Amino acid sequence: MPVALIALALAVFSVGTAELIIAGILPDLAADFGVDIPTAGLLVTGYAVAVAIGGPIFALLTAHLPRRKLILGVMSLFVLGQALCALAPSYGWLMAARILVACGHGLFFGAGTVAAADLVPPSKRGMALSVFLGGFAVATIFGVPLGTAVGNALGWRWSFWALGAIALGATIFVAVVLPPAPAKQEEEAGRAAQIRALGRQQVYLSYLVIGFVMAGTLAFTTYLVPLLIEVTGIPQDWTPAYLVLAGVGTAVGIYAGGRAADWRLMPTLIAVLIGQVVASALLLPTASNPVAMAITLFLWSGIGAAFDAPVQSRIIEAARDAPHLAATLVSTAFNVGIALGAWLGGLWIGANLGYQGLPLLGIIGSLIAAGLATFSWALDRRHRRLAMA
DSSP state of 71: H
pLDDT at site 355? 86
Count Cβ atoms below 10 Å from residue 364 Cβ, excluding itself: 17
333 vs 339: CA distance, rounded Å: 10
pLDDT confidence band for 97 (50 / 70 / 90): very high
Q: Judge whether residue 185 has pLDDT over 60.
A: no
Q: How many CB atoms lie within 10 A of CB 59?
A: 24
Question: 189-389, what's its fold?
Answer: Growth Hormone; Chain: A; (1.20.1250)
Residue 278 CA to residue 367 CA, distance in Å, equals 10
Domain extents for the chain?
A: 1-188, 189-389
Contact (Cβ atoms closer than 8 angstroms) between residue 135 and residue 12: yes
**344: pLDDT confidence band, cut at 50, 70 and 90?**
confident
**Residue 117's pLDDT band (cuts 50, 70, 90):** confident
Q: Is the Cα torsion angle 136, 168, 43, 204 positive or negative in sign? A: negative
Cα separation, 183 vs 204, in Å, equals 28
For the entire predicted model, the pTM comes to 0.81
Interval 129-138: pLDDT, tens: 888 888 877 8
For residues 165-187, average pLDDT: 80
pLDDT at 187: 47
pLDDT tier at 191, thresholds 50, 70, 90: low
Contact criterion met (CB below 8 Å) for 271 and 371: no
- Other residues' Cβ atoms within 10 Å of the Cβ of residue 233: 12
Dihedral, CA of residue 47, residue 191, residue 185 and residue 111, to nearest 10 = 0
Q: How far is the C-alpha of 367 from the C-alpha of 277, rounded, in Å?
A: 6
- What is the overall mean pLDDT for the chain? 86
Q: How does residue 177 score in pLDDT terms, banded at 50, 70 and 90?
A: very high
Total H helices, total E strands in the chain: 18, 0
- pLDDT grade, residue 319 (50/70/90)? confident
The residues, any chain, with a CB within 8 Å of residue 149's CB and separated by 6 or more, are: none
| Higher pLDDT among residues 12 and 343, named by residue | 12
Mean pLDDT over residues 249-262, rounded? Answer: 87
CA atoms within 13 A on the CB side of 323: 25
The answer to whether the CB of 164 falls within 8 A of the CB of 79 is yes
Q: Taking Cα atoms as reference points, which of 117, 102, 116, 108 lies closest to residue 171?
A: 108
Nearest to 358 by CA among 278, 301, 293, 287: 287
Average pLDDT rounded to a whole number, residues 81-88: 94
DSSP-derived letter for residue 199 is T
Mean pLDDT within 192-208: 86
Determine how many CB atoms are found less than 10 A away from the CB of residue 385.
Answer: 9
The whole-number pLDDT of residue 55 equals 80
Out of 90-104, 111-125, 207-221, pick the least confident: 111-125
Same fold, 1-188 and 189-389: yes
160 CB neighbour count, 10 Å cutoff? 26
DSSP state of 122: G
Residue 264 confidence (pLDDT) above 90: no
pLDDT at 294 over 50: yes
Label residue 189 by pLDDT band (50, 70, 90).
low
Q: What is the mean pLDDT of residues 179-188?
A: 59
Per-residue confidence (pLDDT) for residue 324, from 0 to 100: 75
Which pLDDT tens digit goes with each residue over 25-65? Answer: 777 888 888 887 667 777 877 887 888 888 888 877 877 77
Which secondary-structure segment (H or E) carries 65?
none
Confidence band, pLDDT 50/70/90 cuts, at residue 186: very low
Instruction: State how far the Cα of 108 lies from the Cα of 45, in Å rounded to an integer.
Output: 19
User: pLDDT digit string (tens) for 355-374?
Assistant: 889 999 999 999 999 999 99
pLDDT above 90 coverage of the chain, percent:
35
**Assigned superfamily of 1-188:** MFS general substrate transporter like domains (1.20.1250.20)
- pLDDT value at position 45? 74
Report pLDDT digits (tens) over 239-253. Answer: 878 878 888 888 889
